[in-house]
Structure 1
Amino acid sequence: MNLFAQDLIAVAQSPLQHWLTTLPAQLETWQKEQQHGELPKWLRCVAQLPKIEPQHVSLADTVTIANENASEGEQNRIRGLMMQLTPWRKGPFDLHGVHIDTEWRSDFKWQRVLPHLSNNGDLRGRQVLDIGCGSGYHLWRMLEAGAEQVWGIDPGQLFMAQFMAIRHFMPAELAARAHWFPLGVEDLPELRAFDTVFSMGVLYHRRSPIDFLTQLRSQLKPGGELILETLVVEGDEHTVLVPGETYAKMRNVWFIPSTKALLHWMSRVGFKNARVVDESVTTLEEQRATDWMQGQSLADFLDPNDRSRTIEGFPAPRRAVIIANP
């Protein structure tokens, strides 16, 4: 079974045809060698979802697909199968009356980002890449903003199953414009073909942030736009936090720069007109445990006696949005 047959056809029919020189072989290798042991179970859950014709679709803060005639039995089936795809990190979603209350209120981030995109957030006609897209929540928001095609990459295979579950319920015309590949940014050739590239919540997970910024730039066509959202700390252009074993209980955090240091890095790799458009501390309303993500969340990652510090004593998570051009 080729999970990506329709997506590869979409690549061939898009301005990204040159991606086909590497992408099919990578996906074939992934399907043979790199699948997570739980992936067959997750894909069975997706395959068992009921087929319900949507009467109403909203790609707003809660991505909603609704048919008022969906039965209680169908709702229970959706809830049970979607629960087998937990934890749900990014959302929220509402599927025929089943509300998936994700750990992150990802709509908060989107509201901070959208007003600052070029053309007042109008992505009409654009080929958009989301690097580290998770379950694909923001891909649907990008379509709401008018993107022609949205392309998500993320190595997380549970995220892939979650994306496929949401796409299962989407009308065909929307499903045909949203695509997801189990790749990391290091798997991409220098495509230089996207009008807009998003990277939200990835930079601090990279061992070499300079290489990562260079990889982001190499995906943009001339005149394109990068939207970079990441953890930052307060300080001057020389301030960079290099945590110990963990930061906010995350083990894979390598470098957290100040916004001034980050802008300096971006200038060094060739980005132009880089500017900070938003900077804010993450709140317990934006990230929290729910029935759909029952593990530890932000409240457990902060010092219970001083919410301005992490449990390790570092500054609490502060996130910034930077926009730049190649």
Structure 2
Amino acid sequence: MASPDFSHLYTTLAQQGQARPGLHRWLARLPEQLSRALSPQRHPEFHGWWQRIEQLPQLSTAEYDLNQDALYAGAGQTAAGPLSDAEKKRITGLLDNLHPWRKGPFLLHDTKIDTEWRSDWKWQRVAPHLSDLRGRLILDVGGGSGYHAWRMAGAGAALTLCIDPSPRYFAQFEAVKKLLGPQLCEQVYHLPLGIEDVPEQLEAFDSVFSMGVLYHRRSPIDHLLDLKACLRSGGELVLETLVVEGGAQQVLLPQDRYAAMRNVWFLPSVAALSLWLERAGFADVRCVDLNRTTTEEQRSTDWMRFQSLADFLDPEDPSRTREGYPAPLRAVMIARKP
């Protein structure tokens, strides 16, 4: 079995590292990190997922659009000519074998991947408040299978690097990338790594996104400090997380689970989160969106056939989780590294 090829990424980081030395430091340790992250001993299931990706057609050209709500790839051409109906059907089957698909949606050569999350809705809430992404180097922390990373590239980012430790998400990203065609091979990358794998005081990125991550961290202030360390001076943090209503001292610490999730630790109020960001050294902190998650935005589909938000709310009172906590409320915070 062939292995994932990171050579384009290494070349890109070496080039960018001339002006951003932190990237050179990361590049020195990155091959060993990636070898460990995808080792058969650690993730034996990855072999099967990678086989599916290798069976996808090798495209010579394809149309693509990163600015559609459902990221689009079509009119694919192989060396033998346009994709046949049989090949398109095979694509659907191979992609389904990478189930569950949580972040999207995608429309790839007639295959509509209706993901659990309408991630396009979140992007519509976030995008109007961002600094101009054109020419920026961006780090998307905990970006799942990379839907938002592609949208950042569509907005003009020079380099978008998505990190998420799940090898399944990495496989899904690579499948999408292959079907988008060869034109994007040096613009968007995914690494099956976590924020803890990023070298300290990297100070390399113009924008850092952390969406849907903070409430999973046992030490949220440390996470904010880690994000700040990835940014260049003047860089922008985009933070999206679960919050609760209340004043500056209001923080919810679930006793066991929150909306059936075990790994939820701290849900601050917007005022408390603003204070956390300021204590972490950020400036110009502001909340640009506050939105109650609905069962239309997060739900079970044919591409994510497990339980979803509707199953985690109180059936008698959907304003509460089934544990009795306030139903998911999400805030988008933007801040600047001085």
Match of 1:215 in 2: 226
Counterpart of 1:38 (choices 41, 45, 68) is 45
1:96 aligns with 2:96: no
* The one of 269, 280, 287 aligned to 1:258: 269
Alignment partner for residue 116 of structure 1, among 129, 141, 162? Answer: 129
Q: CA deviation at 1:235?
A: 0.5
Q: Which residue of the other structure, out of 80, 97, 102, is the alignment partner of 1:84? A: 97
Q: Which amino acid aligns with 1:64?
A: Y
CA positional deviation for 1:56: 2.2
Q: How far off its partner does 1:24 sit?
A: 2.3
1:14 matched to which residue of 2?
16
Does 2:295 correspond to 1:288? no
Aligned pairs (5 A) from 1:180-191: 180-189=190-199, 190-191=201-202
CA separation of 1:194/1:92 partners in 2, compared to 1, >3 Å: closer, same or farther?
same
Q: Which amino acid aligns with 1:75?
A: K
Per the alignment, residue 71 of structure 1 pairs with 84
Tell whether the 8 Å contact from 1:52 to 1:67 is kept in structure 2 after alignment. Answer: no
Letter in 1 for 2:196: E
Contact 1:58 1:64 in 2 (8 A): yes
Instruction: Give runs of aligned pairs for residues 1-326 of structure 1, distance below 5 A.
Output: 1=3, 3-15=5-17, 16-32=23-39, 35-59=42-66, 60-67=68-75, 69-118=82-131, 122-189=132-199, 190-326=201-337
Structure 1 residue 158 displacement after superposition:
0.3
**CA deviation after TM superposition for structure 1 residue 4, in Å:** 2.2
Give 1:168 shift: 0.6
CA distance in 1, matches of 2:101, 2:255: 27
Tell me the TM-score normalised to structure 1 length: 0.96
Bigger shift: 68-77 or 42-51?
68-77
Tell me which amino acid in the other structure corresponds to 2:213.
V
CA distance in 2, matches of 1:5, 1:174: 14
AA in 2 matched with 1:10: T
- Structure 2: 5+ residue runs without aligned partners? 18-22, 77-81
Secondary structure (helix, strand or coil) at the match of 2:161 reads strand
Measured after TM superposition, the shift of residue 245 of structure 1 is 1.6
**Aligned partners of 2:62 and 2:181 also within 8 Å:** no
Could you tell me whether the CA contact under 8 Å between 1:36 and 1:157 is conserved in 2?
yes
Identify if the C-alpha distance between structure 1 residues 34 and 66 changes in structure 2 by more than 3 Å, giving closer, same or farther: same
User: In 1, are the aligned partners of 2:59 and 2:181 still within 8 Å (CA)?
Assistant: no
Query: Which ranges in structure 1 are unaligned for 5 or more consecutive residues?
Result: none
Deviation at 1:262, TM superposition (A): 0.5
Matched letter for residue 92 of structure 1: P
Q: Is the 8 A contact 2:8 2:185 kept in 1?
A: no
**Does the aligned pair in 1 maintain the 2:38–2:167 contact within 8 Å?**
no
After superposition, the C-alpha distances for 1:135-155 in whole angstroms (9 at most, x for unaligned) are 000111001100000001100
State the shift of 1:35 in Å: 3.5
How far has the Cα of 1:53 moved from its partner? 4.3
TM-score by length of 2: 0.92
Partner amino acid, structure 1, of 2:247: D
**Alpha-carbon displacement from aligned partner over 1:255-280 (angstroms, at most 9, x marks no partner):** 11101000101111100011000001
Q: Aligned equivalents of 1:133 and 1:254: distance in 2?
A: 19
Specify the SS of the correspondent of 1:207.
coil
Find the residue that maps to 1:28 and give its secondary structure.
Answer: helix
SS at match of 2:16: coil
> Take 1:134 and 1:34, find their aligned partners in 2: how far apart are those partners?
22
The CA distance in 1 between the partners of 2:297 and 2:326, in whole Å, is 17
CA positional deviation for 1:249: 0.5
Q: Map Cα deviations across residues 174-215 of structure 1 (whole Å, 9 max, x no partner).
A: 221111111111111121010000000000000000100000
Cα separation, partners in 2 of 1:251 and 1:180, compared to 1, 3 Å: same
